[in-house]
Chains A and B, each alone.
Chain A
């Protein structure tokens, strides 16, 4: 049984000081030192390392000495605290393999600029910080907004999206709830019927299955039935790539894109995440807001300070090309950008949809009509995924301009495997280069 003996912020403070103010992401790199730093010859999942640490009883044998020492400074039982520390930051299920992958990827994400966010003061923010910032702005702007979720209060949410909110907005507006997705979604709707706005955080998007009735029957249809709107935003930490296994990695956007009455947003970048989340709170309809867990701490960019919102239904053309269009969203955007780099400039056009419902059809058709070839890419499994919808629309609207069959690439039609090596094989990314090349050669 873990007990928090030292607050996260204290650990972080001391740790950061020790690390000469390096940002937290560097922690992954610290862990990577294990390999060459007299630790193990082979990579091991962090969880294994931590288990070893607990069993060994505070021995620093396999944990980076510096981290261990700074933990030891503030608490005599670092073995316990480091576990909590990891859990709070969703590092516990990261494998070293994944860590390396994400860290490397983070550096390779260079986003072509398409000015959609306001100019003015900007600060470098990670995806999670942008979400945090947006929630903060929303709480200030909408004083009738109530946040609900498991451990979102003092704990700050499992991904820290609401850290510090109870101090600022009070526990009445930042509500810890029991484990009951269905009841809080229902209560959220009840709140909006009676004049409030509600944000319900799914701890993991997978857990939304507990609340499907409320979302797909009650939230989605109440305006149709009696003109009462459902002013609820459901935040959905989603996606694979973090070795979290079958119940904590799924992409569930297609469940909701299929249901009339709901809107579905799925940003890929911090600045978009902030603007679209704030837009979601302005929107009087129920919005499912997907945030990819693997992007939370692996991408960062300049994000405008203060309040701004971005429109729903406006895709972003991230690279311009004349040979092939890749239509995608979420983590797929980053895969596509990476892939685009393997080809000469001006070949691949990458479209980030940003919202699935409403869908920016015009941008898609304009691009496909120009390039004549299109790949629809997403992380969700291929069968029944949102890609099928995109393929159908493209066929209906651009058939005569096509130079190749519309290609769809999703992940394998299986559950999300746990083992990182298997997971990489599962993800659509593993077949991306091959697919793009075959389309270009067609």
Chain B
């Protein structure tokens, strides 16, 4: 055991942080799934369960001022960046304290203080925005990077190709992350194109690309570091095909007829959280009491989040008329006679 401990590349603190963060994502989403089934809230609910190592590894490798852009499977991203999950939960409930004041819902998680720029519900449409954010960093002469995430389904959108071309042409400091869970809703990567290896998508643009084991947070962390380093040096974007898996359906209404239980179980055996936990245990990075304390903290945060969401007020009626434009008094939004 001692020999394995020596080989560990990351600190005890890092492992414990990964563990706690990923456990929190897992537990809050399990809770969200339950609450959704109990009809505590409606709308959409796309769970990230199984994919936690992707955001955990990205967040740990990122600098504080780096920017993050993602698609609609976005519940875990704010948590990875250290935001209390209660704001995410409140958004699921459509409450005024939610990240989008109850005006967006599940696919609209943002948090500018931690540079999480969404949360975007149109598949692939966020890719160009990510490049734009990186473009601004380049103008500003910073060494910040924009991590732009998408699912494997989004890679078949034209936006990806337009943006890849632009990002390489202008050498933008962006890291394109495919959270490749192998299914665009219920259609596997193999059924969406005859190119199954998504790293090849970068080849036309001579963009560096690599495949990453998305079930191992260390692998993700390292790949992100390499890509970010390239971007910071001014060498432009990288495509990371981070191969992961979601245990749950695409959404809450997915019967999952497109895959077998065996396949799901095969991936569950490689569970990213269990892997970190085993590493911690085998290397005695924490005592049982310390691990229990983590479990307790996570449980408390989940409960606090649900309580916060349930007790938060609904958005006021006037919210209907606010935020359509920047000006608070836009007289042209509604007919005068309906004005409250």
Binding site for B on A (CB under 8 A): 146, 172, 177-178, 180, 182-196, 198, 213-214, 217-218, 222-229, 260-261, 263, 284-285, 313, 357-359, 361, 396
- Inter-chain contact A187/B131, CB cutoff 8 Å: yes
* Contact B125–A217 (Cβ < 8 Å): yes
Contact assessment for A263 and B325 in the assembled complex, using a CB-CB cutoff below 8 Å: yes
Interface-located stretch among B16-24, B163-171, B228-236, B255-263: B163-171
Please give the distance in Å from A185's CB to the nearest CB on chain B.
Answer: 7
Is the C-beta of B2 less than 8 angstroms from some C-beta in chain A? no
Residues of the B chain whose Cβ atoms lie less than 8 Å from the Cβ of A194: 67, 132-133, 135-137, 140
Contact B326 A223 (CB under 8 A): yes
Question: Is B339 located at the chain interface by the 8 A CB criterion?
Answer: no
Q: Identify the 5 closest CB pairs spanning chains A and B, nearest first.
A: A190-B132, A186-B128, A194-B136, A183-B162, A187-B132
Can you list 19 A-B contacts with CB-CB less than 8 angstroms, sorted by A residue number?
A: A182-B128, A182-B158, A186-B125, A186-B127, A186-B128, A186-B131, A189-B132, A190-B128, A191-B136, A191-B139, A194-B67, A213-B122, A213-B125, A213-B159, A217-B125, A224-B324, A225-B104, A226-B100, A361-B332
CA distance in complex: A186, B327 (Å): 23
Most central of A225, A229, A361 by chain B CB within 10 Å: A225
A223, B139: Cα distance in complex, Å:
24
Which residue on B lies nearest to A286, using beta carbons?
Answer: B325
Verify if B118 is at the interface (C-beta below 8 Å from A). Answer: yes
State whether B326 touches A218 (Cβ < 8 A): no
Note all chain B residues with C-beta closer than 8 A to A196.
136, 139
Q: Is the CB of B118 within 8 A of A226?
A: yes
A396 to B333 alpha-carbon distance, docked (Å)? 16
Within B115-151, the residues touching A (CB, 8 Å) are 117-122, 125-137, 139-140, 146
* Among candidates B127, B128, B139, B165, residue contacting A146 with C-beta atoms closer than 8 Å: B139
Most buried by A among B104, B131, B133: B133
Q: How far is the CA of A180 from the CA of B129 in the complex (A)?
A: 13
Find A177's partner among B118, B137, B166 (CB 8 Å cutoff). B166
Chain B residue, CB-CB nearest to A283:
B326
Does B156 belong to the interface (CB within 8 Å)?
Answer: no
Q: Within 8 Å CB of A396, what residues of B?
A: 335
CB neighbours (8 Å) of A261 from chain B are 324-325
Is the Cβ of A184 less than 8 Å from the Cβ of B166?
Answer: yes
- Would you call A178 and B165 a contact (CB within 8 A)? yes
B112 within 8 A of partner (CB): yes
Measured between beta carbons, the chain B residues less than 8 angstroms from A361 are: 332
- Rounded to whole Å, the gap between the CB of B244 and the closest CB of chain A is 25
Contact between B165 and A186, CB atoms less than 8 A apart: no
User: Residue on B with the closest CB to A220?
Assistant: B324
Contact of A214 among B110, B125, B165 (CB under 8 A): B125
Contact A357–B139 (Cβ < 8 Å): no
Closest chain B CB from A353 CB (angstroms)? 12
16 additional A-B pairs beyond A218-B129, A357-B332, beta carbons within 8 Å, are A183-B131, A187-B166, A189-B129, A190-B129, A190-B131, A190-B146, A191-B135, A194-B132, A195-B140, A224-B324, A225-B100, A225-B104, A226-B99, A226-B100, A263-B325, A284-B326
- Contact call A183/B166, Cβ cutoff below 8 A: yes
Complex: how many Å from CA A17 to CA B146? 53
- When distances are taken between beta carbons in the complex, the residues of chain B under 8 Å from A227 are 323
| Residues in B whose Cβ lies below 8 Å from that of A226 | 99-100, 104, 108, 110, 112, 118-119
Query: A178 near B162 (CB under 8 angstroms)?
Result: yes
Are A183 and B100 CB-contacts (below 8 A) given A190-B133, A191-B136, A226-B112? no
Indicate if the CB atoms of B132 and A186 lie closer than 8 Å: yes
Contact check, A228 vs B112: say whether CB atoms are below 8 A apart. Answer: yes
Contacts of B117 in A (CB 8 A): 190, 193, 228
Chain A: which residue is nearest B131 at the CB level? A187
Cα A188 to Cα B108 with chains together (Å): 20
Query: In the complex the two chains form, what is the Cα distance from A189 to B324 in whole Å?
Result: 16
Given A218-B120, A228-B112, A261-B325: A182 in contact with B139 (beta carbons within 8 A): no
Q: Which chain B residues lie closer than 8 Å to A222 at the CB level? A: 118
Q: Which residues of B contact A228 (CB under 8 A)?
A: 110, 112, 117
**How distant is B303 from chain A, measured CB to nearest CB, in Å?**
26
Q: Are B139 and A172 in contact (CB under 8 A)?
A: yes
| B129 contacts A182, C-beta separation under 8 Å | no
Q: Restricting to B291-340, which residues have a CB under 8 Å from any CB of A?
A: 323-327, 330-333, 335
CB of A285 within 8 A of CB of B325, answer yes
Inter-chain contact B326/A229, CB cutoff 8 Å: yes
Contacts of A186 in B (CB 8 A): 125-129, 131-132, 159, 163
A263's closest neighbor in chain B, by CB? Answer: B325
Q: Write the nearest CB–CB distance from B311 to chain A, whole angstroms.
A: 22
Is B268 an interface position by the 8 A CB rule?
no
When chains A and B are docked, how far (Å) is the Cα of A286 from the Cα of B99?
Answer: 22
- Please give, as numbers and ranges, the residues of chain A lying within 8 Å of B146 by CB-CB distance: 190
How does the 8 Å CB contact mask read for B56-71 relative to A, with 1 for contact and 0 for none? Answer: 0000000000010100
Nearest-neighbour CB distance to chain B for A285, whole angstroms, equals 5
CB of B103 within 8 A of chain A?
yes
Chain B residues closer than 8 Å to A214, beta-carbon distance: 125, 128
* B residues less than 8 Å from A260 (CB atoms): 324, 333
Which residue on A lies nearest to B111, using beta carbons? A226
In the bound complex, CA of A160 to CA of B18 (Å): 55
Contact B132–A191 (Cβ < 8 Å): yes
Are B136 and A190 closer than 8 Å at their CB atoms? Answer: yes
| Cα separation A260 to B99 with both chains bound (whole Å) | 21
- In the bound complex, CA of A187 to CA of B127 (Å): 9
- B130 and A190 form a contact (CB under 8 A): yes
User: Cα distance A184–B69 when bound, in Å?
Assistant: 16
Do B103 and A183 have beta carbons less than 8 Å apart?
no
B136 touches A185 (CB 8 A): no
Given contacts A225-B110, A263-B325, contact A183 B136 (CB under 8 A): no
* Mask: chain B, 160-187; 1 = CB below 8 Å from A; 0 = not: 0011011001000000000000000000
C-alpha gap A218/B112 in the complex (Å): 16
Q: How far is the CA of A107 from the CA of B264 in the complex (A)?
A: 75
Q: Closest chain A residue to B159 by CB distance?
A: A182
Expressed in whole angstroms, the minimum distance between the Cβ of B163 and any Cβ of chain A is 5
Chain A residue with Cβ nearest B134:
A190
- CB-CB under 8 A from A359, the residues of chain B are 332
Cβ of A256 to closest chain B Cβ, rounded Å: 14
Are A193 and B125 closer than 8 Å at their CB atoms? no
Within 8 Å CB of B103, what residues of A? 224-225
Return chain B residues, CB-CB under 8 Å to A146.
139
Chain B residues whose CB sits within 8 angstroms of the CB of A313 once the complex forms: 331-332
Q: Which residues of B contact A185 (CB under 8 A)?
A: 128
